[in-house]
């Protein structure tokens, strides 16, 4: 299974790819405020490239549980200058983490080449057309509700089948809008409208998502369910738990992992890939 677009080519059947998280926000759950300054954000991205990131995901709106939407003008102000600066300095793909079509359009014009949409193309009716027009990959994620209310009381009659059905719907939106089949990546949405138990179950049953025949992206990095498992550990003390969740996700079928701690998780992915394939040097 390959992702090939513009000057990039990722063979996700050969190894796991690492997406580094760059939050240019004041309030993200783990690193809010650390990279709000453009120079700090660019420096952080360059460090992630040095550490082995295969792509950088730039986000200008926190989608932590209970968060409020950010105005379009503010999201553009946070993300576009960073993407413009990065596009001149890095050779790996830059992703824009947004559900707003105008932010995606401006980011793609500024040098981004992937769109990561937590709404699965559902919040903004123009998003799919923007992606199709630029002929870039899109990550369609599952989320129950909105960031503001998604963790209020998430319930499912059948967790995995319901998420699969929702992702099929997002894939159909993409197809209908002209997005190529080999440009679609799916994300089951760990932590987005799920209980701690739901998140664990998704990882345990991740293999079922490969039935959709799309690359699978998983974002478990430093998330609350890991802190819960570790007895209330805060985000900066969840490295080992994240490593365990990443390794098990890879063994169960993840093709792309979205992480904060790039250097460490590149090593985890390399080890997990070797074990999964039985190709230890």
**Is 7 a residue of the active site?**
no
| Entry field: residues in the chain | 281
Short-list 62, 138, 157, 125, CA closest to 95: 138
**Is 258 a residue of the active site?**
yes
Short-list 227, 125, 208, 109, CA closest to 167: 208
In angstroms, rounded to a whole number, what is the distance separating the alpha carbons of residues 207 and 275?
16
Q: Which two tokens stand for residue 269?
A: 């992915």
Sheet holding 217-218, edge to edge: 184-187, 138-141, 114-117, 94-97, 55-59, 17-23, 256-259, 217-218
In angstroms, rounded to a whole number, what is the distance separating the alpha carbons of residues 70 and 73?
8
Catalytic residue among 100, 144, 214, 223: 223
DSSP single-letter state for residue 67? P
Catalytic residue among 258, 263, 267, 277: 258
Active site residues: 223, 258
């Amino acid at each position: 299974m390959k992702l090939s677009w513009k000057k990039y080519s990722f063979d996700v059947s050969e190894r796991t790819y690492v997406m580094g998280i760059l939050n240019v926000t004041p309030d993200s759950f783990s690193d809010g405020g650390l990279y709000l300054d453009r120079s700090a954000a660019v420096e952080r991205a360059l460090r992630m490239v040095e550490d082995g990131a295969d792509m950088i995901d730039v986000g200008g709106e926190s989608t932590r549980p209970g968060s409020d939407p950010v105005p379009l003008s503010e999201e553009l102000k946070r993300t576009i200058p960073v993407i413009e600066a990065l596009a001149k300095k890095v050779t790996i793909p830059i992703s824009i983490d947004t559900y707003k079509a105008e932010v995606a359009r401006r980011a793609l014009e500024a040098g981004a080449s992937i769109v990561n949409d937590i709404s699965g193309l559902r919040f903004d009716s123009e998003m799919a057309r923007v992606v199709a027009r630029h002929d870039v990959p899109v990550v369609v994620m599952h989320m129950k509700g909105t960031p503001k209310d998604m963790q209020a009381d998430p319930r499912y009659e059948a967790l995995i089948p319901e998420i699969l059905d929702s992702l099929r719907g997002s894939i159909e939106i993409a197809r209908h809008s002209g997005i190529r089949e080999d440009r679609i990546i799916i994300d089951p949405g760990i932590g987005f409208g799920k209980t701690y138990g739901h998140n664990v179950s998704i990882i345990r049953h991740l293999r079922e998502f490969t039935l959709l025949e799309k690359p699978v992206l998983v974002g478990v990095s430093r998330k609350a369910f890991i802190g819960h498992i570790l007895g209330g550990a805060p985000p900066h003390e969840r490295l080992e738990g994240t490593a365990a969740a990443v390794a098990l996700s890879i063994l169960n079928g993840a093709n792309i992992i979205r992480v904060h701690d790039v250097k460490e998780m590149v090593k985890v992915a390399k080890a997990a890939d070797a074990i999964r394939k039985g190709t230890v040097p």
